[in-house]
Amino acid sequence: MTEMVFGTAPTRAGDPILPRWWRTIDKWSLACVLGLFAMGLLLGLAASVPLAEKNNLPRFYYVERQAAFGGMALIVMLVFSMMSPRQVRRLGVLGFIGALLLILALPVIGTDHGKGAVRWLSIAGLSLQPSEFLKPGFVALCAWFMAASQEVGGPPGKLYSFITACVIVVLLALQPDFGQASLVLFAWLVMYFVAGAPMVLLLGVAGLAGFGGFLAYGASEHFARRINGFLSPDIDPRTQIGYATNAIQEGGFFGVGVGEGSVKWSLPDAHTDFIIAVAAEEYGLIMVLAIIALYCTIVVRSLLRLLKERDPFARIAGTGLACSFGVQALINMGVAVRLLPAKGMTLPFVSYGGSSVIASAVAMGALLALTRTRPQGEIAEILRRGH
């Protein structure tokens, strides 16, 4: 009876966990993540050396740290990818609570590292950005609320998720971290759309977000300075955007050559927010297109697999994780080519940063877990068996 309703299970009872995981995981997405991490290390060899020399550190100090963070991140990703949707939901909610408490503590014990926004905690010489870990937890919590609202007699989960999104957006905007606030709001809008929200409501929320941005422009000098720089018809060649734009133009199709780029000596954030400029200058458009292709493959394959998913939580949470992952990459690269205002957002798995790479691993591990093949069958297959 179970097979008649849900289709033949792709797993066998009593299977060891690793063979079962390997058969059900999206291997293409996994390979793309590994490819992004390898490209990050390759670019880090070039981009981080000037910063290490400036700080009187060994030449490959930051590359070695990124390799260590990456090793931990890959372990975290693999562990999360072996979980069931229920385990992802539980850990996601707990992670959200922990990250929220850390964000609330930032005004007291946080630091801005000289960047004008209190976003980091310094612990034993390491910097932790709680908002990076908040995002996957936020997606899991709101997806749980929305899925619960679809049950007969369920709670008003969509309202709960809206209240949660508003609180988080306000907290992030107060840091100020408008980039992460925008990403959180985008993830909520995408999940709400998948959960069945009317377009009029989504357009209304988008309008409120635009109005909030207008208020932020008048109230925050940090925000206004970035918007003014973006809208200015002239680019100051001595700014980070100016250096990045020039590097991308110089790279052309094939790049100036490995190790021959100059932008890494001028940009203080060449190894983090503007690492795509280093890729474009030294390796050219070919490398940039390869990176874009890897991100697109992960997002598209994940969404296609989620189309077959009938568990509401897995479908909603997976869509939120996949879309926010892709949009974060889009924002980072859009800033580098001056299509978007400066956001201070990393390129997932490619930019240097322990918080960034480990938080990205948590989100990607959860996405791989939610897109694994499960014994549910496709609708078309079920209809054929009914005849």
Task: Please tell me the predicted confidence (pLDDT) of residue 382.
Answer: 44
CA dist 275 and 193 (Å) reads: 33
Predicted local confidence at residue 324, as pLDDT: 95
Q: Does residue 253 form part of some domain?
A: yes
Per-residue pLDDT, 234: 65
Residue 236 per-residue DSSP state: -
Question: Is position 241 within any domain?
Answer: yes
The answer to whether residues 142 and 110 touch, using CB atoms and an 8 Å cutoff, is no
Phi, psi of 127 (to 5 degrees): -100, 135
Q: Whole-model pTM?
A: 0.87
User: Domain containing 33: what range?
Assistant: 15-372
According to the model, what pLDDT value does residue 313 have?
96
Instruction: Report residue 258 as tokens.
Output: 């490995």
- Is 381 a domain residue? no
- 360 is a domain residue: yes
φ, ψ dihedrals at 268, nearest 5°? -70, -25
| Pairwise CA distance, residues 357 & 98, whole Å | 18
- Answer yes or no: are the C-beta atoms of 87 and 313 closer than 8 Å: no
Q: Which of 342, 352, 278, 328 is nearest to 65 (CA)?
A: 352
**Nearest alpha carbon to residue 360 among 346, 349, 371, 372:** 349
Q: Determine the pLDDT at residue 230.
A: 64
Per DSSP, the three-state class of 129 is coil
In a domain, 4, yes or no: no
The set of residues, in sequence order, having a beta carbon less than 8 Å from that of 16 and lying 6+ positions away, is: none
Residue 55: what are its φ and ψ, rounded to 5°?
A: -95, 10
DSSP state of 263: G
Maximum distance among all Cα pairs of the chain, rounded to whole angstroms: 74
Number of domains forming the structure of the chain: 1
CA distance to 104, 121, 238, 329, 340, per residue, from 324 (Å):
23, 24, 31, 9, 16
What does the block give as tokens for 177?
Answer: 């971290």
Cα 298 to the center of its chain, rounded Å: 12
Q: H or E stretch including 100?
A: helix 85-109
Instruction: Return per-residue pLDDT of the chain as tens, 387 residues.
Output: 333 333 434 555 556 888 889 999 999 999 999 999 999 999 988 888 888 888 888 888 889 999 999 999 999 999 999 999 999 999 999 999 999 999 998 888 877 766 666 777 877 667 788 899 999 999 999 999 999 998 888 899 999 999 999 999 999 988 878 888 989 999 999 999 999 877 777 778 778 777 777 777 677 666 676 676 666 666 666 677 777 888 888 888 888 887 778 788 877 777 888 899 999 999 999 999 999 999 999 999 999 999 989 899 999 999 999 999 999 999 999 888 888 877 778 899 999 888 889 999 999 999 999 999 877 544 444 445 544
Q: Residue 337, SS3?
A: coil
| Residue 377 forms part of a structural domain | no
Q: Is 385 within a domain?
A: no
- Does the residue 383 lie in any domain? no
Asked whether 7 and 375 are in contact (CB, 8 A), the reply is: yes
Instruction: Using alpha carbons, list the distances in angstroms from residue 289 to 284, 286, 338.
Output: 9, 5, 17
- Rounded distance between C-alpha atoms, residue 272 and residue 119, angstroms: 15
Q: Which amino acid is at 222?
A: H
Separation CA 29–CA 124 (nearest Å): 35
Q: Looking at this protein, which amino acid is placed at residue 148?
A: A
